Amino acid sequence: MNLVFLGYPGSGKGTQAKILSERRKFAHLSTGDMFREEIAKGSELGLKVKSIISSGKLVSDEIVLEVIENKISSLKQDTIFDGFPRTVEQAEALENMLEKYSRQVDAVLFFEVDEAEVVKRLSARRSCSCGRVYNVLTSPPLKEGVCDSCGKTLFIREDDKPDVVSKRIDVYKDLTSPLISYYRIQGIFHIIKADKPSEEVYSQIESVLVKVGV
């Protein structure tokens, strides 16, 4: 079983992917997480990605596909592709990759949420170099501006700043509109109302899994 989770940055798809991976033992592939690992390492790829993300642009297909194929080649369990693909070209490339391992995309879940809510959610996000992330509105640290886990100072990621978030949304819409149509035609596209409490969102995901026979 292979699922694709789509939605604006901050729509909650990553949170739900983590919950599903814990409860159903899915592998969770997030290009964002993989790139952040490279950035934290200070690798050549990480520095390149950091520059691209900070400007509100998307990482090139060539870089994304290279990272994804490396992961796919070693996976045997059910998988969630979190935020990937973002274009029809990437979707076709993913299908070709999966076909090599006798796999396919079984369902695409689009996490629908108002754009203004996305900006609000991401602008409230605070990150720590240790990897922990907080939301000052819903899950703030015990001490303002300080990580509960390691005591380091929290910061706002460049791609969480309001002006960059708005730019990311515009870029995302331009690129993914054709992708949504592509998956609708295939009959595997499902809308998740992502402005609900977390457990209600997860219940919608489980309903989709039942429909596709999981």
| pLDDT tens string 161-184 | 888 888 888 888 888 889 999 999
pLDDT for res 202:
97
State yes or no: is 13 an active-site residue.
yes
Residue 32 domain flag: yes
pLDDT for res 43:
79
State yes or no: is 157 an active-site residue.
yes
Residue 128 domain flag: no
- Over residues 184-197, the mean pLDDT reads 94
Considering the candidates 24, 157, 161, 167, report the single residue annotated as catalytic: 157
pLDDT for res 214:
66
Give per-residue burial for 139-171: e unless 16+ CB within 10 Å, then b: eebeeeeebeeeeeebebbebbbeebbbebbee
Q: How confident is the model at residue 39 (pLDDT cuts 50, 70, 90)?
A: confident
pTM of the entire structure?
0.77
Residue 152 domain flag: no
Residue 149 domain flag: no
Strand pairing partners for 107? 3
Q: CATH code at 29?
A: 3.40.50.300
pLDDT for res 60:
83
| pLDDT tens string 54-109 | 887 778 888 888 778 877 887 888 999 998 898 899 999 999 999 988 899 999 99
Please tell me the distance from the alpha carbon of residue 14 to that of residue 50, in angstroms, as a whole number.
Answer: 20
Q: How confident is the model at residue 209 (pLDDT cuts 50, 70, 90)?
A: very high
- Given a cut of 80, whether residue 142 has pLDDT beyond it is yes
Residue 46 domain flag: yes
Q: How confident is the model at residue 144 (pLDDT cuts 50, 70, 90)?
A: very high
Residue 30 domain flag: yes
Instruction: Count the domains in the chain.
Output: 1
Residue 77 domain flag: yes
Q: How confident is the model at residue 34 (pLDDT cuts 50, 70, 90)?
A: confident
Q: How confident is the model at residue 48 (pLDDT cuts 50, 70, 90)?
A: confident
Residue 168 domain flag: yes
State yes or no: is 173 an active-site residue.
no
Considering the candidates 86, 103, 121, 126, report the single residue annotated as catalytic: 86
Mean pLDDT score across all residues of the chain = 89
Residue 152 has phi, psi (to 5 degrees) of -80, 160
Please tell me the distance from the alpha carbon of residue 99 to that of residue 214, in angstroms, as a whole number.
Answer: 20
By the 8 A CB rule, do 22 and 198 touch? Answer: no
Range of the domain at 203: 2-113+162-211
